[in-house]
Amino acid sequence: MIKYTAFKYAPVLAFQLLLMVLYFIFVRYGGGEDANIKGFEDTHVMIFIGFGFLMTFLKKYSYSALGFNWLLAALVIQWALLCQSFYHMKNNTIYVTKKSLLEADIMSATVLITFGALLGVASGLQLLFIAIVETAVACLNMWLVADVFKASDVGGSIAIHTFGAYFGIGVSMALKSKNKDTTPTTNGNTTPSVDLNAPSYISDVTAMIGSIFLWIYWPSFNSGLTNTDAEYQRAVVNTYLSLAAATVTTFVLSSALNEHKGKFDMVHIQNSTLAGGVAVGSVCNMQIGAGGAVAIGIGAGILSVLGYRYLTPKLTKIGILDTCGVNNLHGMPGIYSGVLSVLFAGLATSDAYGAELGTVFSGIGQNGRTIGQQALNQFLALVVTLLLSLVSGFLTGLLSKIPALEPLKQKEWYNDEINWELP
């Protein structure tokens, strides 16, 4: 018998009230210098429609996919704005601008990526607890990447995608069921119950809405925090070309590698088509060339489809669940992008970038930093992100198993009925 408690989400309201107090104390309006910043509205669409609908592919978890996506994003945006701004306060005051709202929106993507890994296997209270902890740690990591290492990561492939994916994998490792068999249980009946970790025809169609919205707006996500018009234009062009190349590659490989030869796998089409946006994120504002952007997209499509086809089943067999396959869409393509950033930072020259060298790579020239040292710092930023995300995710997952957060039993996974009043 499932026990419902009328006030089980009261701590969330208490946290919301705490945020209100902190905003009264520390937050003031900023000036108008960021009023015309690009990308905020488009990124907002990605967060609430793109991510939300992409996760509606499970046959009986669409309410939770859309509802928790909305709740988590609304909470995290407020919390992230404070956590990110904490490192840049002026006279103990946070000045909120359209740019800081965009940065908070982008940070919420980190948590939603983690949500994708845990989709259907974590309770609502667990998700909220994980989101609050992850936001604080992710903002620390963002400060390390951007301010300590001064790594170039304008599209967030290192600090957002890689961190969110492997924080989620870390949590999943902590939540790993002792029973590695993830096939449907009998729920006490003589006949097996329906496997809810699967799509229906309609749920796959609604998930495609999310994929297409993400695909359309990804150039805005990657280019929103660029510093110059030339950077902005390169980021848009490179992201678009990488996405297009990844999409074509995904369709071809999906047909070739599918168990039913010659047919497309909707999992690949919904997800791997987007991998080009992740893979180009850290380098989208760099001088990679249009051909380079296409090549990156092809590599991302190959990497992502191979991950879904071969790696995800192996992880599932050892009990590490990744419901949406975020390792294949965000994790491995994020690492790929981080490695590319090391390469292109090492190849950067004053002749190629001119006056932009110091804006694309903000660390070059500071304290005598050379191009080689910049490349090293890109690598260190990636390594630290991987370690911090996995370790902090695993520890957060262990903490989230306390009874007060109502961890789900395996027979309750992927079922809206646990959290929603259904028609």
The tens digit of pLDDT for each residue in 240-285 reads: 999 999 999 999 999 999 989 999 999 999 999 999 999 999 999 9
- Check residue 179 and give its pLDDT: 55
State the average pLDDT over residues 301-327.
95
- Check residue 195 and give its pLDDT: 81
Per the confidence metrics, is the pTM higher than 0.85? yes
Tell whether 195 is covered by a domain: no
Domain of 219 in residue numbering reads as 37-175+203-401
- Check residue 193 and give its pLDDT: 61
Residue 194 has pLDDT above 80, yes or no: no
Tell whether 300 is covered by a domain: yes
Tell whether 189 is covered by a domain: no
**To the nearest whole number, what is the mean pLDDT of the chain?**
93
- In percent, the amount of the chain with pLDDT more than 90 equals 87
Tell whether 93 is covered by a domain: yes
Tell whether 197 is covered by a domain: no
Tell whether 383 is covered by a domain: yes
Token duo for residue 233:
């234009």
Structural domains counted in the chain: 1
CA distances from 196 to 28, 30, 62, 103, 413 (A): 47, 48, 12, 35, 8
Tell whether 362 is covered by a domain: yes
- Check residue 6 and give its pLDDT: 80
Q: Are 168 and 116 in contact (CB under 8 A)?
A: yes
First-last CA distance in the chain: 20
- Span 67-77, pLDDT tens digits: 999 999 999 99
- Check residue 4 and give its pLDDT: 56
Which has the minimum average pLDDT: 78-82, 109-113, 359-363, 400-404?
359-363
Residue 100 has pLDDT above 70, yes or no: yes
Closest to 76 (Cα-Cα) out of 128, 24, 11, 9 = 128
Torsion of CA 365, 368, 373, 379, to 10 degrees: -70
- Span 132-158, pLDDT tens digits: 999 999 999 999 999 999 999 999 999
Tell whether 249 is covered by a domain: yes
- Span 198-242, pLDDT tens digits: 899 999 999 999 999 999 999 999 999 999 999 999 999 999 999
- Residue 154, φ and ψ in degrees, nearest 5: -65, -30
Residue 185 has pLDDT above 60, yes or no: no
Residue 178: pLDDT band with limits 50, 70, 90: low
State the average pLDDT over residues 111-115.
98
How many Å separate Cα 391 from the centre of its chain?
17
How many Å separate Cα 278 from the centre of its chain?
9
Residue 317 has pLDDT above 50, yes or no: yes
Residue 43 maps to which CATH number? 1.10.3430.10
